[in-house]
Structure 1
Amino acid sequence: MKTTRGAWALAGVLAGAAGLATSYVTANVLSIRQSPVVAIAEDIIRLTPGDVAETAIDVLGHADKPVLIAGIMVFLVLMFAVVGLLARRTWWAPTLVFLALALVGGLAVLLPKGSGNATDALPVAVGFVTWLIGLSVLVAPLRKAEDAGAASDDPAYDGDDATRRGFLIGAGVMAGSIGVLTVVGRLVGAGRREVERLRNLLRLTGVTQPELPPGALVGVDDVTPWMTKADDFYRIDTTIATPVIDPTEWSLRIHGMVDREVVITFDELNELEKTEAWVTLNCVSNPVGGNLIGNAWWSGVRVATLLERVGVQAGAEAVLQTSDDGWTCVTPLEVLTDDRNAMLAVAMNGDPLPIEHGFPVRTLVPGLYGYVSATKWVVDFEVTRFADAQGYWTPKGWGERGPVKMSSRIDVPGSGDSVDAGEVVFAGIAWAQHTGIATVEVAIDGGAWQEGVVAHPGTDDTWVQWRAVADVEPGDHVVRVRATDKDGLVQTGTVADVLPDGATGWHGIDFSASS
């Protein structure tokens, strides 16, 4: 059998894919959240500079993580093919390449949390051994064919049928095994299904269903609804593999500059008095007029209640929050203990938190961007000083404290819409959390500002709907919006990027009017 470069490359790819499949299955069997590929992807996200990460979010949106995983897989396939080609000449070169890849995977799994837990690295070890065994099985008939060809005096020698069958059978078995292992990995990865079952059976005390506040609507169709459904709520986080946590195994450790270290279980948290509130969450990456914002009815336990239990020591300034996936943020202590109702939320819109939004427990702080406050899957509070702690995003150039900036958005009409000339209704949302919106104004084609009507939902921690009516002549136009908060501060028209602490500027849209 004349061997070709393609056959050797295929052998490398199949052996590498088998290694990935066995590492994936091992991670699922052992209930390890991160397979090596996922760990590498999350490390890439963690090490990416803030401006680069922001560009990726802007360009790719929610596709940023799938694109990253796809890129890693393409790179690995190319490396596996190179390994197969190297195996044609020597054994030590492909072994070193596989070993290097395994070391990268092992470091990616172990270093971020500094756990040193050998079990977490077991999927990498299993994958490495599978790579070596798979490659040896697949290249054996190829090397036999080349050796036989070199020993033959006949230049047309094409090996024997047994050699050819050996390679084809080995390749077929390897490919089939990869498929079977992938299916098995999904079947044994039943942890999420079990947690979903427990979530559906969970009985939360003191949690009520959301009710529309009187005065929350302005009566305009197509304006952003008052409540954002959980399925429609924006999601921005750094995790590739969503943490799946059994509530019976969840706990929150509160330690650091406290008089008494405390560990609270979910059952204990559930028995505490609940607080409930409408709260709007914002992502600091939300551009002017963007949709990385949502409003929901949240239920939970006030953070201040728990901090009173541990006794915060003098000199403490902040709380370093840590998620189950290792993500961290530093939140000012003052906003966790004032009247803004910062909470450990257990429910969203009357139901237990969705897994993707932090089940079983997440932190919620009205008036702060999520990157300094909204820790999903929270498991650790360390009371500390700002000088002694850094969150995930601040070393990447983002601001330290992250207060939400006042902003407003036009929903109606939509950008590029055509309307009837004459009286035109404009509508949208505005927010100045923990201060509240007093007025909203619109300006047509740079003209005078015209005041609209603002809804009054009875809370300052949410967005508000607004509407305005203006006379519009036939033709093409631009309308802009600005808000004024209850302290009399007028929303700035100065355009600023989202980095380092949130975008500013007036939202505007183009539209046309016809008679």
Structure 2
Amino acid sequence: MIRPGQRSIVALLAGLVAVAGSFAVSGLRQSFVVAPVDAVVVRATPAELVAFAIEELGYLGELLAYLTAVALTVVLFATANYVGLLVADAMAARVSIPSRVSVAVLVGGTTLVLAWLLSGSALSSVGAAAPAVVLAVAAAPADPGSPDGTVDSVRRRVLAASAGAVAFGALSYALGSRRATDIDHELPEAARAADAATLREQADERTLEIDGIPGLVSGIDDFYEVDINNVDPVLEASEWTLSVTGAVDSSFTVTYDELVDGDVRTGYNTLRCVGEQLNGDLLDNAIWTAVPVATLLERADPGGGCECVMVRAADDYYEQFPIAALERGFLAFGMNGESLPREHGHPVRLLVPGHWGEINVKWVTEIEVLDREVEGYWEERGWHGTGPVNTVAKLWTVNERADGRVQVGGHAYAGSRGIETVEVSVDGGDSWEAAELSEPLPSEHVLGERDAWRQWQYTWEPPAGDHEVVVRAIDGTGTLQPAEEESPYPSGSSGWVSETISV
């Protein structure tokens, strides 16, 4: 029998290898046993804590939430395994069943059932149960009266099981990480990829030479990712559909093939997260391949009493906003000349030019026209990010030149209003000079007319000492970016970015 003090250790180790085994066969997909626990953790987290995590922790907050879900899942399996080991020891002591047989049956059964309840996947369940059984059997004596049932013998087996669990965990991480996280799917027409290549060259020609900041088109791997999941949905284009429902004259559903056979556009569009800090980096621009939403809305002939819509996604995300904004939106299925990646909403995501990233719904599956306003996912948690983005000029780099001059630079963005001017002060705001701006990306190639960021740079020769550099932007309507600094919560950060530079 496994002694009481060691039973807890064996149960915990069996829980660890069960989670690792599920990851080995599932990868970071919905069939991974941690995925449903993670969803519960995310949704159960108090709104105040979510706001703090977004504002102060950023990606670290997402990681902590995910690690919490992993730990809770291990505890769930460890608890089930402990019960299984306890019953197995009782059976071995009372009936003539070898300890290892009863351990295999009880640990295997409890792990298999729990994994199935969490994942709904036979493969993931077997992947979790098999290593848990092997570890628990390896730690158990053949029967209570055998020589390998002594204290020292059991201790050695538990130590060996611990080493085996660590090794198996490393192997499982490697196997699970190698499983495809993207979808093997190409854009419907090669010409669309060629259009993206042309736009990339166009953007490169307009890019300023500034060390330390991104170009005018962000790489797919560099484009920021924010959503409510730590395990993203996996959807096949061949199985995807979009339903248009609610207060409409005609409800209907379109398939992926029907969607991409429409009025395809390729163009630039910038996204900014409502939860980013004033000088944060949750701001990127890409070349998207998309079709206008307006065509679908015309077909549906929407009515409703609030002139608003609810857009829903495959990950149970939902967001409500004005239908007027959606009418200018796009359904994107390509990014930088490639099929839309999984982490950015494959097979189809929503793009709403000029608005905060939260209404640019990924993995979109339904557009419902509403009769009355209801709160979306983030609005239920106190955020108000469904409107147009705030104007911002970022100060992302400071470069000291060999000739003694100093260059500062960054990006500026004002949504569909566009950026007209960026001004820089090197004396704390007492005086201002116009910065050099990158040439605007052509409006005919921007999905939201002027909805694309611009780079800026300013170079001067400062005297020795400290200099407070302040940056502000003027949008395309002539409106100056507000000076008062506001935190991201609840309506997005605003204010002038400043940094003290010592030379």
TM-score bracket, normalised by the shorter chain, equals 0.7 to 0.9
Q: Which residue of 2 aligns with 1:56?
A: 53
1:374 corresponds to 2:360: yes
Matching residue of 1:330 = 320
Write the distance in 2 (CA, Å) between the matches of 1:191 and 1:128: 17
2:464, 2:17 → 1: CA distance? 66
Q: Counterpart of 2:34?
A: 37
CA root-mean-square deviation: 4.4
Output the CA distance in 2 between the equivalents of 1:218 and 1:21: 47
Instruction: Quote the residue 2:425 is aligned against.
Output: 443
Q: Which residue identity does 1:7 align to in structure 2?
A: Q
Q: Conserved in 2, the CA contact under 8 Å of 1:299 and 1:350? A: yes
Question: Post-superposition shift, 1:283?
Answer: 0.7
Q: CA deviation at 1:12?
A: 1.5
Alignment of 1:347 with 2:347, yes or no, is no
Q: Which residue of 2 aligns with 1:155?
A: none
Match runs of 1:12-91 below 5 Å: 12-17=11-16, 19-20=18-19, 33-75=30-72, 77=74
More deviation, 79-88/354-363: 79-88
Whether the 8 Å contact between 1:204 and 1:352 is mirrored in structure 2 is no
Deviations 1:375-422 (A, max 9, x none): 1121211121452x33221111100523200010123425xx68865x
Between 1:275-284 and 1:445-454, the stretch displaced more is: 445-454
Matched, 1:356 2:343: yes
Q: Secondary structure at the match of 1:33?
A: coil
Is this contact kept in 2: 1:10–1:84, CA < 8 A?
no
Structure 1: distance between partners of 2:113 and 2:54: 29
Are 2:356 and 1:397 aligned?
Answer: no
Return the TM-score normalized by structure 1. Answer: 0.77
Whether contact under 8 Å (1:18, 1:127) holds in the other structure is: no
CA distance in 2, matches of 1:136, 1:441: 67
- Structure 1 partner of 2:99: none
Distance change >3 Å, CA 461–CA 80, structure 1 → 2: closer
The Cα shift of 1:181 comes to 11
> Residue type matched to 1:55 in 2?
F
Which amino acid in structure 2 is aligned with residue 358 of structure 1? G
1:431 aligns with 2:413: yes
Moved more, 344-353 or 58-67: 58-67
Instruction: Output the CA distance in 1 between the equivalents of 2:263 and 2:64.
Output: 43
Kept in 1, the 8 Å contact 2:17–2:168? The answer is no
- For residue 106 of structure 1, report the CA deviation from its aligned partner: 8.5
Q: How does 1:207-218 map to 2 (within 5 A)?
A: 208-209=195-196, 210=199, 211-213=201-203, 216-218=206-208
- 1:307 positional shift: 1.1
Aligned to 2:369: 383
Partner of 2:102 in structure 1?
A: none
Q: 1:57 to 1:169 in 2, by over 3 A?
A: same
1:487 CA displacement: 1.9
Q: Which amino acid aligns with 1:390?
A: E
Inter-partner Cα distance in structure 2 for 1:249 and 1:122: 21
Seen in structure 2, the aligned counterparts of structure 1 residues 79 and 296 have a Cα distance that, compared at 3 Å, is closer
**Which amino acid letter does the alignment assign opposite residue 377 of structure 2?**
Y
**Matching residue within 347, 362, 365 for 2:352:** 365
Q: Is the 8 A contact 2:395 2:410 kept in 1?
A: yes
Amino acid in the other structure paired with 1:370:
G
Q: What is the CA-CA distance between 1:167 and the residue it aligns to?
A: 9.5
Distance, in Å, in 2 between the alignment partners of 1:506 and 1:104 is 53
Contact 1:25 1:182 survives alignment (8 Å): no
Change (3 A) 1:419 1:398: farther
Per the alignment, residue 94 of structure 2 pairs with: none
Change (3 A) 1:9 1:81: farther
- What's the offset of the Cα at 1:54? 3.6
Q: Aligned residues: percent identity?
A: 29
User: Which position in structure 1 is the counterpart of 2:6?
Assistant: 7
User: What CA distance in whole angstroms lies between the structure 1 residues aligned with 2:159 and 2:276?
Assistant: 49
Report how many residues are paired: 477
* Distance verdict in 2 for CA 1:320–1:104, change over 3 Å: farther
Name which of structure 1's ranges 488-497 and 130-139 shifts more when overlaid on structure 2: 130-139
The verdict on how the C-alpha distance between 1:224 and 1:25 changes in structure 2, with shifts beyond 3 A counting, is: closer
Residue of structure 2 equivalent to 1:304: 294
Within a 5 Å distance, the mapping from 1:98-247 to structure 2 comes to: 120=120, 141=141, 145=144, 160-161=147-148, 192=180, 196-197=183-184, 199-200=185-186, 202-203=188-189, 206=192, 208-209=195-196, 210=199, 211-213=201-203, 216-247=206-237
Return 5+ residue gaps in structure 1 as ranges: 110-118, 149-158
Q: Distance in 2 between matches of 1:26 and 1:219?
A: 46
Work out the CA distance in 2 between the residues paired with 1:512 and 1:22: 53
Is the contact between residue 15 and residue 174 of structure 1 (CA under 8 Å) also seen in structure 2?
no
Q: Which residue matches 1:468?
A: 458
Gap regions ≥5 residues in structure 2 = 91-107, 444-449
1:448 maps to a residue whose letter is S
Please identify, of 71-80 and 403-412, the stretch whose mean Cα deviation from structure 2 is larger. Answer: 71-80
